[in-house]
Amino acid sequence: MQAMMTDDDIVRPALSVREVEVLRAWIISDSKGTVARSLFISPATVNTHIARIREKYEAVGRSAGSKASLVARALQDGHVGLDEL
């Protein structure tokens, strides 16, 4: 019988403060362009941050290839709360 995983068993990637900031902004935003304007960065920089975040999740075995999966990871890891969505 397989034991259930607990929060302590989940491997969380080491996201930088800026990566979390971009991730949170993108989750609650309609577009990467909106995120770029609100954080005073280019859309290409938003794309770079999101790509690196995905790579970090992949590296710990928790793929996040879609926005929905990144939302799930952010919720699981406490980067965003349900009340913010």
- Which band of pLDDT confidence, cut at 50, 70 and 90, is reported for residue 83? confident
Question: Considering the entire predicted model, what is its pTM?
Answer: 0.86
| Residue 14 CB contacts under 8 Å (≥ 6 apart), including other chains | 56
Q: Is 39 left (phi over 0), alpha (psi -120 to 50) or beta?
A: alpha
Cβ atoms of residues 24 and 80 within 8 Å:
yes
Q: What is the pLDDT of residues 40-80, one digit of tens each?
A: 999 999 999 999 999 999 999 999 999 999 999 999 999 99
